[in-house]
Every structure is written in C-alpha cells, then in structure tokens.
Amino acid sequence: MKYLNFFLIFLFPLSLSAENLKLPEVVVEYVCNTKFIIGANVLETRTFKSKNKKRIDTIIQNIPQSVIIDYEKQTATWVWPKTYSYLSVPLKKENQEALKKATNIIMLKKIKSDYLSGFEVDLYKLKVNLPDGTIEESTRWISKHGITLKEVGFIEGDEGKFHFYSEYSNVKVFEQNDDLFKVPDGFKIAPVDQLDDVNDLLRTMVKRS
C-alpha cells in the first residue's frame, strides 16, 4: 500500500512536535465515525477513544472486524465477530519511539478560529516530514479538545503526489465504557494465518511487533 506510514500515523496517532512546533493534544474521551481517503484507498470506521485505549470498528472485504489498541500495555488486538475469534500482538515500544522521532513538523501556522459540526475549531497549516521520506502538507481543523475533525492536503514522495482527505463525523465527547475495549466472552484465539484475510494496512501493523 502506498504511503503506509501515513496510514499508521492515522491509526496510531502521535503527539507530533518539533522544536517550538507542537499540535494540540487530545484531552477528552470520544466516539465518532471516521472517513479517510488517499488516492484510491478509502478507510471508513467507527472509532472509540478513551484515555489510554482506542477501538476501531470497520469492514474489510465484507468482513466486520475491530482493532483494539492499548497504549499503556502496548498491544493491538484484532477481533472478528463472525468467527468469534481474536488475536493479540505486542507493539514494540522502540518501534513507536522510532516512528515518533522520524515524524517531524517543519512548518506549523495557526490560520484562524472557526466552527465545524458544532465544535469551535482552530485551523492550522502544517508541513510534516514522514518516516519514509515523503512530505505531507495539509490544513487541519482541530477542536478545542485537540480532536482533528477534518484534514485536507497532499503527500508527495518517490511514488508521486497524492491528495488525501479525512473527516470525523457524529462526534460525541463523553467518558467511554471500558467494556468496549475488551474481547467478548466466548471468543477464541484465531490462528495467525487468519490475518491473510486482513488488508495490507492491518497486516503491516502486526509486522511492526
């Protein structure tokens, strides 16, 4: 998949910063629908975010599945409701740190304040160096809670220039029930080869462990 590290940052958000340049951090728990488009690739999800955990529900090749990320325990768990199965893998902390260090903001400018979907937002122009050497330039609509409600821009590298668009909709800010981030009772551990049915993005997330 083109620009894989860009998708990884989308699913494993980092506190992007450089010397004197830092985006607002998320300070609330929330649930929302998400849509992310880059080139011909489209990812639509239902996302639940608590203080230290995130759950992403989506459908890939007509197969419902969830990814539960525990940032404190540094684990990612895939859950397949149709087969009552799951698989957990560790996320190496050194890989997370390497990704964070390799992602640098080289330009950040607040343009103005506005409203989007009922939220007060600040608009930022930014330019980011991604780990694979590509450049991202975009405009972000960031709520006062630190949630990026919308982002429009492009990334450019050896494979060309691709425009992207991401949007959070139906955003609800409230404390999330911890049961949302647990594997349901009765689910069994899936064989590793079940990951063959998962797209390149999710397979590579496993390889990061």
CA angle 98, 99, 104 (to 5 degrees): 105
Q: Judge contact between 125 and 107, C-beta under 8 A.
A: yes
Instruction: Report the pLDDT value the prediction gives residue 113, as an integer from 0 to 100.
Output: 97
Does domain 4-207 fall under CATH 2.50.20.10? My reply is: yes
Q: Where are the alpha helices (DSSP H) in the chain?
A: 4-11, 93-102, 200-207
Q: How many CA atoms, within 13 angstroms, populate the side-chain half-sphere of residue 127? A: 5
Instruction: Report the pLDDT value the prediction gives residue 129, as an integer from 0 to 100.
Output: 85
Residue 114: CB atoms within 10 A of its CB come to 11
Instruction: Report the pLDDT value the prediction gives residue 96, as an integer from 0 to 100.
Output: 59
* Alpha-carbon gap, residue 94 to 100, rounded angstroms: 10
**Domain-wise residue ranges, the chain:** 4-207
* Alpha-carbon gap, residue 125 to 110, rounded angstroms: 6
Instruction: Report the pLDDT value the prediction gives residue 71, as an integer from 0 to 100.
Output: 87
* Helix (H) or strand (E) run with residue 77 in it: strand 75-80
Instruction: Report the pLDDT value the prediction gives residue 98, as an integer from 0 to 100.
Output: 58
Instruction: Report the pLDDT value the prediction gives residue 203, as an integer from 0 to 100.
Output: 42
Instruction: Report the pLDDT value the prediction gives residue 94, as an integer from 0 to 100.
Output: 64
Q: How many CA atoms, within 13 angstroms, populate the side-chain half-sphere of residue 156? A: 6
Two tokens, residue 142 = 């960031």
**pLDDT means per 10 residues in the chain (209 residues)?**
43 48 90 90 91 91 90 90 91 62 80 96 92 87 96 90 93 97 95 53 39
* Alpha-carbon gap, residue 13 to 41, rounded angstroms: 19
Instruction: Report the pLDDT value the prediction gives residue 193, as an integer from 0 to 100.
Output: 59
Instruction: Report the pLDDT value the prediction gives residue 2, as an integer from 0 to 100.
Output: 41
Which residue from 91, 79, 90, 71 is spatially nearest to 25, judged by alpha carbons? 71
Which residue from 172, 118, 160 is spatially nearest to 135, judged by alpha carbons? 160
pTM, to two decimals: 0.79
- 3 state SS for 152-194: EEEEEECCEEEEEEEEEEEEEECCCCHHHHCCCCCCEECCHHH
